[in-house]
A and B are shown apart, each in its own frame.
Chain A
Amino acid sequence: MKQFFALLRREFLEWRTVFFVVTGLYLLLLILLAYGSYKVSNEIEQHSFSLQRNGQEVIIQFDNEGENPFTDDREESARITLTDQPSQILEVWGHVVRGLMVGVNFLIVLLAIFYLADAVYKERSDTSTFYYRSLPVSDTMVLGSKLVFGTVGILLLSFVLSTLLVLFVHLIVPGRANAILLASGLSLSQFQYGDLIGDWAAFHLLQLLWLSPFALYFLLVSTLVKNRPLLTAVGVLILLALIWKYLFSPLGIPNQITLNFGVFGDVLDREWLEAPRQINSTSEIELFGSFWPYVFTWRTLIALGVSGVFGWMTHWIYRKNIEVS
């Protein structure tokens, strides 16, 4: 195990810049969003008002007529009752959060593809593969470390990014933009963030399982080609998808990939868009339900079978195909 962790550490050291840059950029995006909400909050707080909450109603009472910043109509009452608005506000925030989370997901898949397509190819092209093969470590362990890093490691990055997002939503938004987002703040506080993270992890584990043939496919191409592994891998995939469509009509391969995004999108819809409308609901929000029924499916079996074949081919070719030239 010591060797395996050393190999994982090697991968991290080699690719850490990418991780730090991605995390940094994502953090920057969240900070910019936080700054936006801070500006809105400041604008509101220039006016003199008081907040009251009455059941589902949130009332903003402006001290002076005409100070309501949301309308120019002086005749409109200085008292605003936000009966319908919480769900509208939440809907907007739901889309923002959903976009950010799906964005993270998409980014992670992209990173995984870039990494896996380059993981073996890079060491073959710079001849460092000879060094690694001169160490007392099996090819299985070397390839295993790359696969684990390209899947589980990148999922950990995803976890870091999504945790940042949850912290952002939970702490920064309701805290700084309290006035305008009071209602959403109240609603957000009802969410089970632990559940959300749990669902996020469960979703990614399923994704890992179901997309493992693609991960191994990219690793296989990385061991095989003499140049441009990413282009080759993606190009062959597109070609296969087109042939599949021509023969069987549906876009089978793209569907398999995008299905995962769709599943999580549905979950987010339920978590962020529908549930908040029942603001006082204390019932737990059921997301995936039990994890296990999703695992024990034909889809999982096929994914594991295809992964096994690709894994064996990758191992076999890795042993034979040492150099790029």
Chain B
Amino acid sequence: MDVLIRMEKVRKKYGRTVALDEVTLDIPAGKIVGLVGPNGAGKTTMLRALTGLISYEGDIAVLGKNPHTERAALMEHTGVIHDVPILPQWMRVFQLMDFQQAMHPRFSRSRCEKLLTKTSIETGRKIKHLSKGMKTQLHLSLMLATDSDILILDEPTHGLDILFRKRFYNSVLEDYFDKEKSIIVSTHQIEEVEQILSDVIFIKEGSVLLYESVENLNKKYSQVVVPERYAQTLREYNPLAESTRIGRRVFLLEDLDAEEVREYGEVTKPALADIFVALMGGEA
């Protein structure tokens, strides 16, 4: 499988703060990768490094290109949506499409117009007069109408309601994703993207704690809910995390044979959010 993104010992410091610490990973084509971490973990720094917005130590190759020195060439194949509205406020929607068409050789105006018909955005309106949700929709339409190989989403639904967030990710899946393309989406609301991710990267204090496929995570981690009287027994399995839920004890266990503990209680697949919290050092 082709590697779209390769990071090798990537390090980035802001003053004394290490934002990325020796990050090494490969992301192949056809993946939807969730970049998950608490605020200040280094998610945005990683995405900015991938899109050539910042300098860094180490090596990065996105589609075989160095994003810092070949950003213009890379952007021909990469779409980016940020966590804040970044479209020029003074432009009208049709002017933005004109501009995008003139600037981007892989942009299809007709496709963009078609995508906009699914929204309530009028092409004559000024961008500054659109709501935040509309601005995100407009930006998404621009990106979906651009034939890019990688879509990088940096908390794209930040500050938007749940209905819009669902619609957003549905559009990304239906109108963009195929086996040749990859999506990297950073978020700290993991539960809303959990269903669409193929892989997940947990990042904390600039370091990658875990990079695994969701399928493997489901195999690797188990959640066992037992009555209080079996708590001590489960603790002998060295759980990653332990918590209480309506009078019962909940354990998150790694590499567990479910049959071994089934007699004590209910064994389920944990949510990504639970694994994330456990790995971050909180309780599951």
Which A residues form the contact surface with B (CB < 8 A)? Answer: 2-3, 5-7, 9-10, 13-14, 123, 126-131, 133-139, 319-320, 322
Contacts and interface: CB of A to CB of B under 8 A. Distances in A.
B103 A135 contact: yes
Contacts, number: 71
B102 A136 contact: no
Contacts of B52: 133
Contact of B53 (A127, A135, A322): A322
B51 interface: yes
B160 interface: no
B154 to A, nearest CB: 9
B271 interface: no
A138 B73 CA distance: 9
Tell me whether chain B's interface is mostly helix, strand or loop, or mixed: loop
Nearest to A319: B55
Contact of A135 (B82, B89, B90, B104): B104
A138 B103 CA distance: 11
Given A13-B95, A133-B53, A137-B72, A127 B84 contact: yes
Tell me whether chain A's interface is mostly helix, strand or loop, or mixed: helix
A211 B181 CA distance: 49
Residue with the highest number of chain A CB atoms closer than 10 Å, among B72, B73, B82, B85: B72
B75 A134 contact: yes
A136 B104 contact: yes
20 contacts: A3-B103, A6-B103, A9-B102, A10-B99, A13-B90, A127-B85, A127-B86, A128-B89, A130-B53, A130-B82, A134-B78, A134-B80, A134-B86, A135-B75, A135-B104, A136-B76, A136-B104, A137-B75, A137-B103, A320-B54
B123 to A, nearest CB: 15
A2 B102 contact: yes
B100 to A, nearest CB: 8
Interface string B63-84: 0000000011111101110101
B88 interface: yes
